[in-house]
Amino acid sequence: MQNFILDTNVLLHDPTAIRHFKACNVIIPLKVLEEIDQFKRELSERGRNARTVSRALDELRKQGRLSDGVMLEHGGTIKVTFADKENPFSVGLSADDLILKMAMDVRKAQPDERCTVVSKDINLRLKADALGLEAEDYENGKNREADEIYTGQTVLEADPEAISFFAREGHAVLPGVETLFANQYVTLRNFRDPRQTMLARYDAETHRLMKLLTMGEGAPVVPRNREQRFAMDALLNDRIKLVTLSGKAGTGKTLLAIAAGYHQVMDIKYYKRLLVSRPIFPMGRDLGYLPGTIEEKLDPWMQPIHDALELIVHSRSGAAPNKRGGDLLASNPLIDVEPLTYIRGRSIPNQFMIVDEAQNLTPLEVKTVITRVGHDTKIVLTGDLYQIDNPYVDSLSNGLSAVVDKFRDEPLAAHMLLTEGVRSEIAEKAANLL
């Protein structure tokens, strides 16, 4: 039976991690519990995860002594122990060193069984490798490469008659479409003349390719490329309740989402309110505490939302800007911008909800957000998988990637990866070269 030694950051990332190592021995060093104890008083997701870990271990303790090992429901065991029997409270050694020492002791005591250190700390994995120990990152799910993340679109070859039928009727059935994911977007290409193409969305319920939706005349934002047209269809389709938009800076993720939400709240009044939220993570050094009311404190963090809203409103009126985005929010009760900090426990019905910068959330935080969605609410998650400020997630383990992977074949969800920058030439160059 394989032995897995867990680092502190694994349990803070996913407090249920001990139950995901099926038919294995899970070992938690005593030093890890000491570090968990330091985080449990934090009023944050990390603090909640630390408290969840402590409660779970306390429940397991009722089944037996954790120092001897307790059986888990999947057939494995969980054990809490220390690396230095003469110095159990590990004075003088770092947590990383104690974890590595424990791994070497376990490997020496059980040479016939594999022993693996599991950590989200790259340097700890490098140190383990230098000592000849097995080490791996923690992923609750299958291993994927960053470049293999689902893009949300594909290309299908079709004959000219099928393309003509689709252009005329707005739908078509082609051989092989059953292999597509629900709401996957398709570029129909004439195999005789590749320059002739049509854009479509695969409807898994009818097994048809469907024509894309548009805002029509007077739209505050007009899609500038194929990917944006796909994204706009997902944002406007009221049968799709969960939309994920990922892509590098300047591809229009936030602007498209706010434009679609603004249109459906203010113009056609399908939803009663537009709610925009984002996690608060500083880029670089934090500014510290900010003075003023909660609205004044949040203003710097929400400025990207204000900028997008200002652009949309003024593009519709055609007038020169005379109000900042924050002033537009203050004067419009149908639009609200909030931090994600206070979302736990809420129920949000009949709203168009946007969560910006979702790549900075953990999978559990994203689960908390999505489970707040009430009846007739649509939720949109946007983010750049390669601009992550949260030190506890990466391009594969963050919440946005988890939602894309888990919901790719759900009829109520759609995803689009945006790759073409539209902000400016210099922004596009910077995103590609730096």
Per-residue pLDDT band at 1 (split at 50, 70, 90): confident
Most confident of the following: 105-109, 269-273, 317-321 = 269-273
Are 232 and 313 within one domain?
yes
| Residue bearing the bigger pLDDT, 288 or 403 | 403
d(CA 45, CA 305): 24
Question: 406-422 pLDDT, tens per residue?
Answer: 999 999 999 999 998 87
In the predicted model, is pLDDT for residue 150 greater than 80? Answer: yes
In the predicted model, is pLDDT for residue 270 greater than 70? Answer: yes
Of 49, 26, 31, 30, nearest in space to 39 by CA: 49
d(CA 107, CA 24): 15
In the predicted model, is pLDDT for residue 140 greater than 70? Answer: no
What's the number of domains the chain is made of? Answer: 3
**Cβ atoms 334, 266 nearer than 8 A:** yes
d(CA 356, CA 258): 10
Domain containing residue 367: CATH number: 3.40.50.300
Are 237 and 349 within one domain?
yes
In the predicted model, is pLDDT for residue 284 greater than 50? Answer: no
Average the pLDDT over each of 96-110, 333-347, 393-407 and give the range with the smallest value.
333-347
Residue 209, SS3?
strand
Domain containing residue 187: CATH number: 2.30.130
| Residue bearing the bigger pLDDT, 395 or 212 | 212
- Length of the chain counted residue by residue: 434
Are 106 and 132 within one domain?
yes
pTM across the whole model:
0.71
Residue 29 corresponds to which amino acid? Answer: P
DSSP for 366-404? Answer: HHHHHTTB-TT-EEEEEE-TT----TT--TTTSHHHHHH
The proportion of the chain whose per-residue pLDDT surpasses 90, expressed as a percent, equals 40
Per-residue pLDDT band at 384 (split at 50, 70, 90): very high
Pairing relation of β-strands 273-278 and 335-339? parallel
**Cβ atoms 393, 360 nearer than 8 A:** yes
Are 330 and 225 within one domain?
yes
d(CA 346, CA 374): 9
**Cβ atoms 422, 225 nearer than 8 A:** yes
Phi, psi of 343 (to 5 degrees): -85, -20
d(CA 246, CA 128): 34
Terminal Cα-to-Cα distance of the chain (whole angstroms): 45
- Domain limit, last residue, from 189, 211, 233: 211
DSSP for 222-270? Answer: ---SHHHHHHHHHHH-TT--EEEEEESTTS-HHHHHHHHHHIIIIIS--
Are 60 and 168 within one domain?
no
Question: 38-78 pLDDT, tens per residue?
Answer: 888 886 778 888 899 999 999 988 888 888 888 888 778 89
Domain containing residue 174:
145-211
Are 97 and 161 within one domain?
no
Which helix (H) or strand (E) is 4 found in, with range? strand 3-6
Angle CA 207–211–212, to nearest 5: 120
Pairing relation of β-strands 413-418 and 134-136? unpaired
Are 327 and 414 within one domain?
yes
Per-residue pLDDT band at 297 (split at 50, 70, 90): low
**Cβ of 56: how many Cβ atoms within 10 Å?**
17
Question: Cα 426 to chain center, whole Å?
Answer: 27
* pLDDT (mean) for 219-244: 94
| Residue bearing the bigger pLDDT, 391 or 185 | 185
- Sheet holding 70-71: strands in order across? 70-71, 77-81, 25-29, 3-6, 115-118, 134-136
Are 88 and 159 within one domain?
no
Are 298 and 177 within one domain?
no
**Cβ atoms 200, 212 nearer than 8 A:** yes
Which helix (H) or strand (E) is 276 found in, with range? strand 273-278
Are 202 and 263 within one domain?
no
| Residue bearing the bigger pLDDT, 294 or 213 | 213
pLDDT of residue 201: 97
Pairing relation of β-strands 197-203 and 185-190? antiparallel
Are 117 and 169 within one domain?
no
d(CA 269, CA 262): 9
Task: Give me 10's structure tokens.
Answer: 């694994």
Are 290 and 185 within one domain?
no
pLDDT of residue 316: 65
- Domain limit, last residue, from 136, 153, 171: 136
d(CA 6, CA 118): 5
| Residue bearing the bigger pLDDT, 203 or 425 | 203
- Domain limit, last residue, from 193, 211, 229: 211
In the predicted model, is pLDDT for residue 115 greater than 70? Answer: yes
Task: Report the mean per-residue pLDDT for the chain.
Answer: 84
| Residue bearing the bigger pLDDT, 149 or 141 | 149
Per-residue pLDDT band at 283 (split at 50, 70, 90): very low
Contacts of 418 (CB under 8 A, 6+ apart): 227, 228, 231, 245, 246, 247, 248, 251, 252, 253
pLDDT of residue 46: 81
pLDDT of residue 188: 94
**Cβ atoms 394, 15 nearer than 8 A:** no
In the predicted model, is pLDDT for residue 224 greater than 60? Answer: yes
Contacts of 424 (CB under 8 A, 6+ apart): 250
How many helices (H) does the chain have, and how many strands (E)? 14, 17
pLDDT of residue 144: 47
